[in-house]
Structure 1
Amino acid sequence: MKRPTQRDGGGRRRNEQRLGGGLSLAAFANAKSRNTGYNPALIKKQKEFYKNAKLISKYKRLKKQQNQSSNPPQFPIPKEGGDDANDAPKLHSKKKRIAPSLKEEYEKKRAEDEKAKKEREAIIQAKREEREKSEARRKDLREKMFKKTRSGQPVMKYRIQHLLETALESSNK
């Protein structure tokens, strides 16, 4: 049996002093029961609520815009005689003049867009063909450069030919 020494008791006392004694059970319970305001479930619920409210307001705004755009503004119906009857044909004739010019502009723009699109496609197609040709050329050259004889030695004919071609190209530049 081991006897408690004075040293063990002294260390315990020093630890208690350093820690400031222990919390009483009542103080501990009171500290744990205090509400910090952090509740992840509640925070998630609030975020979802605000998100839904935002979506609903956006939906209502879009609905309102669609209703305004689909219902053209109501013009007063002209009565026989009076000033309103004279103004109505003028409005109508202006509208007829504007519509064809807008249509022509739209057709011009559409034709220009189509033309630009065709040009872009032609450029892309030309680049693709160029790339395919160069890849085929490189693949062919690679096959020739890696050719081996029956004994496993490299075929020098193609390598020398390639060296000559590169030398001629560099001298021409």
Structure 2
Amino acid sequence: MQNFIAQHQSRLAKNFMRNVSRLGDWTEHFALGITLLAIAWWRGNKKWTRIFLSMLLAFALAGAAARVVKIASGRARPSVKTEEVWSGLKFSSNYNAFPSGHTAASAAFFAVLLLANWRIGLACLPIPILIGFSRMYVAAHYLSDVVCAAILGILCAILVEHFLRRQIENRTSKIAN
């Protein structure tokens, strides 16, 4: 994949992918999530308030999990010329390639939306896919970093959705009794 991307680079595409990659930063997703959460809460819509809160929780969980794995794996980014061996914990961002935090967080954020409302979630699905591709295009990650990050994000979304659904069911059953 890296060779294919290297052979098909252009200045316009590289600038576009850098901007897409920035959209995967935690601040953009967090700002969107907080804004949507505030609007849903202000309008009194409990369903969407829960969904947007779940999106933020899954996003945070995936980001934290990805960070822990990054430090533990110490995998060098494609732009770093080094031997492919594990040499201990690495705190340098040059050695924090696996998994892609941008992709994990974005996949978790939008996977919750897909689980809650498949039509809206499906429409938003290109966002984490494009963010993952952009991370490879700018030579920040390998394909395996992005794929594993997407899986991590989806698992975090399922975990958060399951936990919150269980909390709501417990609260509902206590009220009914």
So what's the TM-score if we normalise by structure 2?
A: 0.24
Q: Highest relative contact order (Cα 8 Å, sep 6+), 1 or 2?
A: 2
Whichever of the two has the greater Rg, that structure is 1
